[in-house]
Structure 1
């Protein structure tokens, strides 16, 4: 199984050589391309044609870790009909949601930037918006610095119902059980973990260096489905962001009924079924 390849062509030579050696050693091996819900496509370019050719030549199956009813792969890869090998959606791969718990106090908003290599400007903007908003709409805010955000120079004055923690996954998931809403970047894990717990989610559509639009595409597609609301860099000032926070979270509800969040279990079933079907009959 490959992760993202050949939709991303990094280490193409090495990956193809490995697949070729596997085929020689075990001709009946199942070769699977595993890809997230949104990819960066050049929208019908020769590169996309090449990706389709590699899939048909080297792979037996494509597993898309998403729900076609929410975001279809063709939305970010329009040449999907040129892929001849079977393509299946597994549903979203997220940890099983933890049951919600009542929060002792005013509504709790959680801001996070995942790993934290980028996005510190979001935390700074949330802190400023919180201080502006809290006198008019009492709420608590807990900001999670990224796991890799140790020496960026960003600092936050705690107090006035604002707390700042370094990201810890166990603590983060525990906090989500009491949260009234989440503000995050548009990464797969950040968005899906929040939605899997039916939390109102506000997503910062950040511009990334190098023109990488995976997160922007995901945010646009999820927003079009009504699952999240987004804001952009121009909104990272307290006077603009505070009203957005109040409007989105004071009513507090999101409907995720019908979305498949069982991607891990479904993927296991798909792989086992495919492997059994390739075994020679006795």
Structure 2
């Protein structure tokens, strides 16, 4: 087994919570601990542009672009046109995070549906995978993905919180299942049970920094370095070697995003 290189498949280095010095320190600290690849997803136009800037400036950092359901109000045709142009950049590797959020009452469901569907169509047009945000909207997420033919491009179920049955439906549509900090929580029985069952070819790990910090740092701001604790927990749950989880989840992320690790000789 080679070195335990990790890929944080979902990390908001573009968050307003982080300044330039924070980002610099987090990337260097993560790389010192072999977290050498990071996907930065957008959630509105500003954060998508910031994700692109980070990917342009840092080898091993990649961008996703998209409009989060909580930011879907006021979406215009010009925004979709801009996303389409950004999608041509070589370090833009996915559309996301997009989806549905029923927890926060900020955007009417009809608006969320329209923006979600249009971005799935855009992903199919530009031939990029989709990163799905799903909060308390499991049935509608699966239904819309099926209706819009999202299987054509596939993608990632970010920070998966659904049932095993939902996971199977998503995998049938070529979606990988990604686990974040909640899988390390003591009361997270359902994510842990699902994490035990996911076929290895569909398994990913992520931090969702600065949110959802895993044990043992729960309650503090999250950062890419902490993806190792999620991988360690999954290794424990599945009775696997940590090194194998690192290798498998990194290879899966590279496959879905169609990238190669620039630090393989590190």
Tell me the TM-score normalized by structure 1.
0.31
Tell me the TM-score normalized by structure 2.
0.33
Larger radius of gyration: 1
